[in-house]
Structure formats: structure tokens, C-alpha cells
Amino acid sequence: MPDYVHLKGINKAFPGVQALSNIDFRMEGGYVTALIGENGAGKSTLLKVLSGEIRPDSGTIDFNGKLLSFSHPQDAIKAGISVIYQERQLFPMLSVMENIFIDDIPVNRFNLISRSELKKRATKILEKFGLDIDPTEPVGRLSVAHQQMIEIMKAYRRNSKVIAFDEPTAPLMDDEIDTLFRIIEELKAEGKIVLYVSHRMAEIFRITDRLVIMKDGKIVTTRETASTTESELVSLMVGRDVGDTYKNLSRNDKIGEVVLEVNGLTTEYVRDVSFKLHKGEVLGFAGLVGAGRTEVMRAIFGDDKIISGEIKLEGKPVHFQSPREAIDAGIMLCPEDRKELGLVLPRSISDNISIPVLKKLKKGLFMDRSAEVKLAETGVAKYNIKTPTIDKRTIELSGGNQQKVILARWTSDKLHTKILILDEPTKGIDVGTKAEVYQMVCDLAKEGKGVIFISSELTEVLNLADRIIVMHDGRITGEVMREEATEEKVLALAMKE
Amino acid sequence: MKKKSAFFSSKYFSLVLIIVILMAIFTIWSKGQMITPLNIRNILNNLVLLSFIGCGACYLMLYGEMDISAGALGSFAGCVCAYLAMNNGVPSGIATIIALIVGSLCGLVNALFINVLKFPPFIATMGMSYVLQGAGYLIATGTGINIRKLAFLNFIGDTKFFDGLVPVSVIISILFLVIYGIILSKTEFGRTIYLCGGNRRAARLCGLNPKKLSYILYINSGFLASVSGIIYVSRVKTALPTALGSYQFTGITAAVLGGVAFGGGSGNMVGCALGMLILAIFNTGVSTVGFNANYTKVFNGVLLIIGLALDAITARRNARKVVAQSLATAEKDRELVV
């Protein structure tokens, strides 16, 4: 009988969101099981449960009839489960052989590292994988693809029965992908349980045998890959009914002239990006994580160097050298990572709201405390920020309220906001606050501001934006109007190779 | 009434309490020697040297960095001043100004290494510290430069007000503390320090310029260390390349005791000043009760560790509080959904 892993009724909640609910499926040795779903469907959380990094709130992992519970990632490894992440967990200064045997280095009778034995064993594995790599080479000097192979060899050497791959092909070139797939085929032939997480349709159909489709932390269905078509898979991934949230929004229907025009913008991260934003328009940016949407905005905002291309604000060419210049010109950016880039967490709500307008809150040499209080209180009232006082430190607020503080900062009447860029504004906040944020976006559009709305949640972009720009791999792959936008259409553009 | 209770639960209250207890212990231990006018003056004198370097350390720590070169830099500035005035006949007032400029320039060099070459602040300023100490020996030799004849420096070092009780340097020191305190709490510049110290990336994305601030703070640290060094020379009448020793760490200790968090973003000048006072009382007390002066170093080390432990404990308690609160809000949100 082949090995199997059966995940039974796994639940996991994070503050404000149910990341996994009642996950239940079975993987068998000798098969490659694909785990697929949109961004935020819960795939990474599930992988982390499997690798022992996260403890589920309830549910069990049944491995060949034995119930496993991990309190540490090391437990999962000992049990024979290896998860290979995108960000490789290698020591770049150490050699290939040391990395492969990192937790089982052979020693001689003096308890010192036996390099000859280490080299012998590593060479054996390298030969088995058919890779022409010098075992004494530092891992940091290898190509990304080879580094990933080292990670797989590590799992293989541990004799792991379960090997899970988290989007392994993202950094690889075509011929490297071929090598990877050859190795996966071999693992499969040896009866290993392989779990394969990827966004790429072509690969899923090429390498996997079974499909587990996730959405919003739940399993939608499981299928045999051979009997599923590509379009069927897309609609399974999408299939969600739009709640009343969007129907009740009071939208802006008067779209004005062009306020921002970007032509052929190229930076280190994005290539030849062109688009227009109108006054009163909500322009959605869709795409997979890492498609380059954030990087486009950073370049416009003066935070990234522009290699070539032109940006026009209200018809006049602009080239901002720093965020300060962009802010003074009327472009505001709510960055993607609230805690790392958005807020100064140890400071108060009031301090956080006033940052960009400190110069306008002075009375002579000193800060004008009463003007600052007024600014903060207006923001707190306008955005319904739930807090007893404006002096509360932002680190103590919930995610939703933190996001509202940032919105209050960028829309205060001391700033002449023409364009507001919102990068993943609803990430990690609860449903109720999300609806509030949507209405705020519409209200800003009504005031005649141009709003750029970036989100990895497709439903959100589709329902909120007047027009949607889709990016993939640093380029714009298409543009859709809301009336004609469907999740299938946008997803196809987002995954366009 | 309400105000009073706020004071009793505040951080300042515990610092004041420590000061009172320390004074009481040393007074009893020294059989009253601790509170003679002369000894009070010693405490103030101790406070003076600490206050300048302490202000610089406090600002930099609020920004999340530190300047290890301050002690050597201050000593070097003192040597430069004495060297110009005694060996080259420059009027002592002008020599003082040149020394302050040289000290500030050393701060600028620190900032250049840190911002342009991206050196970790610790390494850059430690290197600077060795260079300046060596340079100090080159111009002042091991025996130092005697400055007994200099009018301006003698004025700073020897003039005393209020029946000879309060030296002019104490007045300067208190003036600096007050001005630096007001800048920190009341001005846009002070706010910028807190914001950039709290989250540099976010501050930049909000239009602030953390890099520019870093230059200002290192130059400021160099300037204040130089003031310290020159006042030291004016008092002991000899410029030595090791005059201020490793005073930068005493400054850091004061800031930590006063509640400035390692990593930046929170703390204030009142706390720092109380921290300095604690150290000044401690160091004076230790010698008053007859300990060898070397013990003060040991005790300073112990105090730094205590301060850091308190910092770590508060940080952990805050983290726990934040987690608990966020869980509570999540719970509430879930109830709302249900």
C-alpha cells in the first residue's frame, strides 16, 4: 500500500480572518497533487501547517495511520515532511555538500567533520540527480535553479516521504524547469508524496495528477487533472458570488479629464508601462503577487529610479526625485505593507496623521498642538476610527483602524490630493471594515480625485474599479472595462506567459 | 488631583524616586558628606560633562543609532583648542570656535561613512574613535597641553555664580538641556527625529528626509562632544587625548535609564536629564563614600545593564499587550459578523 497523508478538518484563524476552514483532503504516494487557488486562498497557510510552522486551531494530519502534531518545524522534518519554499533556506557561504547534509554532517572518530565522507555522500546524491555541480562550491555562487535543486536534494537526503513545492518554477528558466520536472517525475516514481503549489496553468497540466482547488480558506473541490480542462479549472478557482457589499456602494458616475498619464515607464522591475488615469475614476490594478504593480507605483511616487519613460500630471511632465516632491504635487501613496511602510507604529494616531503636513501645522518656531489635534480629530471622525483618544499608539490598533489612519493622513484638507494610490488597502482587515474602505474609495472618486486601487483579491478589483489594468511579470498584459470584466478574463491576462 | 495621580504612575516618578533613594543612601553612608555644598557642586560638575554628550546620544538613539566616537571626539576637540591657543598663539575664543567646527566636521565624516558608504554606525564611529584618539596623542602627546593662561577658557572653567556655588559651565549645561528638550518636544525638527526613528521607510514615504536628519544628528553629536571636551579642558586646565574616556557609553546609559528605547522612536529629554542626574549622583556618591574611582566604571556598567533589562522587559510587556488587544478586537469583529 502506498504512503498517504490525510489532512482532516484543519482550521486556522488569524486576527480578523479565518485563513483555513475545515480543510480535508488526501494525498497519496506516487502522485503529484496540485494545490491551486487565487492569492489569499490559504495555500501558504496550509503549507505552513504541513511544515509545522503554524499550529492549526483544530484538525489532524494523518500520515500512514499515525496522527502527527508538530510544535516545531523540526518535528515535521523528522516525521518525513519537507516543504521547499520560494525563498530558499540555504546557507550561501557554506558549500553544496554542507548544505545538503546540514543537519546530519558525517563526523570521524574524533567527532570532527569528515570532509571526505561528506564529499563522497554528496557526490552520490548529485550523480543520482544528474547534476554537474562541484560539491565544494559555496551555494551562494550557484544559479537560482541549482540552489533550488540543493534544497530538493536536502529533502531527498532526509528521506522525506512528503515533499511540497511552493511555486518552485517562479524564478526558473525553461530548461531549468525541465530539469526540475524530471526530478519530480523521479520522486514520483519512487513513490513519494509530492504536493505542488503553482499559479501556472501549463505546468499544472504538465506535471500534476490531481487537483485540490482552494478558495477563501476552503477547499472548493478535488479533481483528477486528466479529466479537467483549463477553463473548467479557472471557473472553479473563481466561482464566488458577489455579496451585496458592492451593490450598495454609492459610486461616482462623472469621470473627468486625464489627470495622470504614464508613457513607457521602465525601471529595474517593470518594463514599458503606459496608462492614463482620469479625475473621478477608480482605476484597478490586478495581477498576481510580484507582477510589478507596487513597483510601478513606487516609480511614479519618486521612490524608485526611473530608467526611461514619461509621467505627466495634468498634462505637465513631472519627474519626482523623492516622495516629498510627489506629495507636494498632489500624489499620495498608501503603501502595501501597513506595518513596515505605512505607519510609524510606536507613535500616536495624531502623530501619524500629521506627518506629511508638519510644516503646515506650525505656529512660529513650534508645532501648533491645537491645529494638530483638530486635524487628527477630523480624521478620526471622518473615517470612524475606533479609539478612545487620538494619542493612542498605532501599534495598539486593529488592522482596519490602522488602514483608516493612513487614509485619514492622505486625505486631510491640508494636502491637495489629486491622486490617491491604494496598494492592497484591504489586506488582512475584516469584512465590515472592507466595506467601509470601499465606500471611502467611491467617495474620494466623487470628490474628483483619481484613485488607483491595487488588490490581489480579484472580486474586489472587478467590483470597485471603473477600469482594470492587468499586469504580469513587470508588463501590462491588458485592460478591461468593468462592464465587460469577468474573473476569467482578468485571470487569463494575469497568467499570460 | 487627576494630574497628581498621572505623575505618580509615570516613568518620571520612578526616576525621581530613584534619585531620592540614592541621595538618602549616600547621605547616610557618607554621614552627611553627600549633601555639603561642595559635594552638590561636584554632582553638578559631573552632570555637566554628561549633559552634552548625553543630549547627543539621546537624539541619536531616538533616531535609532548611536555614536561611539563621542568620547574620543570630545577629547580631541579639547586638544585641538589647546593646541591652537597654546602652541600657535590663536586667541582662545577663536581657538574654541575652530575646535567646535573641527568636532562638527568629524561628526560629518561619521555621517558620510554611514550614509554614503553604508557602514553600520557602530563600526564607522568606532573607527573614528580610534583615529581621533591617535590624532589627539599626536598633537597633545601623552602628558597633555597645559592651558592655565587662557582668558576665555578660564572664564568658562572658573567663573561661579551665587556665592561661588554654581559654576558657569553648569548654567551652560542646563541651558543646553532645556533648549534640546524644547526642540525635541515642541518643534517640527524634534518630531521628525521621533518619526524617522520609529520607522524610517514610512517616514520617507510620507515626505520626510531621514538621510538629511542623519547628517544633522551626527554633526550635532560631534558638536556637543566638542563642547564637552572644551569645558573639560577649561576646568582641569590640561588637554588630554583621553580626557573624556568612554563617556559616550555613560551618555547612552543615561538615555537608556531615562527611558529611550533602543531602536528609536520613543523616550524624551526629561527622562534623559533624570537619567543623567542619577548617574551624576551615583558617580559622585561612590567617590564620596570612599570607593576607588575605578568602581564607578563597574557601577556604570551595571546601571547600563539594568537600564537595558528594563527596556527589554517593557518592550516584551508591550508586545504582549498588543497581541492581547489585537486578539480581543478580532474576537469582537467576529461577534459582529455573527
Query: Per-residue pLDDT tens for B280-312?
Result: 998 888 888 888 877 877 888 888 888 778 777
**B243-270 pLDDT, tens digit each:** 888 888 889 889 988 888 877 788 889 9
The sheet with strand A316-318 has its strands ordered as A273-278, A258-266, A308-313, A316-318
Residue A453 main-chain phi, psi, to 5 deg = -120, 110
Q: Return the domain boundaries, chain B.
A: 37-316
Nearest to B204 among A323, A395, A399 (CB): A323
Contacts (Cβ under 8 Å, ≥6 apart) of A282:
A252, A441, A442, A445, A451, A453, A464, A465, A466
Q: Do B206 and A431 touch (CB under 8 A)?
A: no
Which pLDDT belongs to residue A420?
95
Tell me if ipTM is over 0.85.
no
At CB < 8 Å, which residues of chain B contact A? 186-188, 191-192, 194-195, 198-199, 201-209, 261, 265-266, 318, 321-322, 325-327, 329-330, 333, 336-337
CA dihedral defined by A115, A117, A118, A123, rounded to 10 degrees?
Answer: 120
3-class state of residue A64 by DSSP: coil
* Residue stretches of chain A with pLDDT short of 50: 240-242
Nearest to B187 among A335, A367, A396 (CB): A367
Which pLDDT score, from 0 to 100, does residue A239 have? 60
**Check whether domain B37-316 has CATH 1.20.140.10, yes or no:** no
Which DSSP helix (H) or strand (E) runs through A257? none
Q: Is A62 on the interface with B (CB under 8 A)?
A: no
* Contact: B204, A430; criterion CB under 8 Å: no
What does the pLDDT read at residue B336? 44
pTM, 2 dp: 0.77
Backbone angles phi, psi at B50, to 5 degrees: -70, -35
CB atoms within 10 A of CB A304: 17
Check pLDDT > 50 for residue B72.
Answer: yes
- Output the nine-digit C-alpha cell for A282: 477608480
- Residue B113 and residue A327: Cα distance in Å, rounded? 30
Rounded to the nearest angstrom, the minimum Cα separation between B325 and chain A is: 7
Do the chains contact at A367 and B186, CB–CB below 8 Å?
Answer: yes
Name residue, grid cell 507596487.
Answer: A294
In chain B, residues with a C-beta closer than 8 Å to the C-beta of A303 are: 204-205
| Number of neighbours of residue B152 by Cβ within 10 angstroms | 18
Strands A316-318 and A308-313: antiparallel
Q: Spell B249-278 as b/e; 16+ CB within 10 A means b.
A: bbbbbbbbbbbbbbebbbbbbbbbbbbbbb
Residue-level pLDDT at B334: 47
By residue count, chain A amounts to 497
Q: Indicate which of A358, A370, A372, A417 best probes the interface with B, i.e. most B CBs within 10 Å of its own CB.
A: A358
Bridge partners of residue A338, in order along the sequence: none
Distance CA B125, CA B17 (A): 35
| Predicted local distance difference test score (pLDDT) of residue B328 | 57
Q: Contact, A106 vs A121, CB < 8 A? A: yes
What pLDDT, in 10s, does the model give residues A27-38?
Answer: 999 999 999 887
Is residue A330 within 8 angstroms of chain B, CB to CB? no
Higher pLDDT, A480 or B5: A480
Q: How far is B78 from chain A (nearest CA, A)?
A: 33
Query: According to the 3-state scheme, what is the secondary structure of chain B?
Result: CHHHHHHHHCHHHHHHHHHHHHHHHHHHHCCCHHHCHHHHHHHHHHHHHHHHHHHHHHHHHHHCCCCCCHHHHHHHHHHHHHHHHHHHCCCHHHHHHHHHHHHHHHHHHHHHHHHCCCCCHHHHHHHHHHHHHHHHHHHHCCCCEECCCCHHHHHHHHCEECCCCEEHHHHHHHHHHHHHHHHHHHEHHHHHHHHHHHCHHHHHHCCCCHHHHHHHHHHHHHHHHHHHHHHHHHHHCEECCCCCCCHHHHHHHHHHHCCCCCCCCCCCHHHHHHHHHHHHHHHHHHHHCCCCCHHHHHHHHHHHHHHHHHHHHHHHHHHHHHHHHHHHHHHHHHHHHC
Q: What pLDDT is recorded for position B127?
A: 94
pLDDT tens for B24-47 read: 998 988 888 888 888 888 888 889
The C-alpha cell that represents B195 in the structure block:
518619526
| Contact assignment for A366 to B187 by CB distance below 8 Å | yes
CB A55 within 8 A of CB A103: no
User: Does B333 have pLDDT greater than 90?
Assistant: no
Distance from CA of B320 to the nearest CA of A (A): 11
Which triple of cell numbers denotes residue B75? 577629547
Note whether A183 and A151 are within 8 A (CB).
no
Using alpha carbons, select from A333, A413, A407, A342 the residue that is nearest to residue A371.
A413
Of all residues in chain B, the one with the smallest CA distance to A387 is: B329
CA gap A306, A326 in Å, rounded: 14
Return the C-alpha cell found at A140. 551562494
Q: Are B177 and B51 in contact (CB under 8 A)?
A: yes
What is the residue whose three cell numbers read 524624551? Answer: B268
Q: In chain B, what are the helix, strand and coil shares in percent, each to the nearest 5?
A: 80, 5, 20
In chain B, what percentage of residues exceed pLDDT 90? Answer: 44
A132 touches chain B (CB under 8 A): no
DSSP letter (8 states) at residue B320: H
pLDDT of residue B329 exceeding 60, the answer is no
Check residue A244 and give its pLDDT.
Answer: 60
Residue A122: CB atoms within 10 Å: 25
Put simply, the answer to whether B333 touches A430 (Cβ < 8 Å) is yes
3-state secondary structure A167-200: CCCCCCCHHHHHHHHHHHHHHHHCCCEEEEECCC
A344 touches chain B (CB under 8 A): yes
For chain B, say whether A364 makes contact (Cβ under 8 Å).
Answer: no
Preferred mutation among B206, B321, B325, B334 to probe A, highest tally of A CBs within 10 A:
B206
> Do the Cβ atoms of B202 and A396 come within 8 Å?
no
Question: Nearest Cα to B140, choosing from B104, B110, B99, B108?
Answer: B99
Contact (Cβ atoms closer than 8 angstroms) between residue B278 and residue B293? no
Chain A, residues 367-426, CB within 8 A of chain B, namely 367, 395-396, 398-400, 409
Closest chain A CA to residue B199:
A344
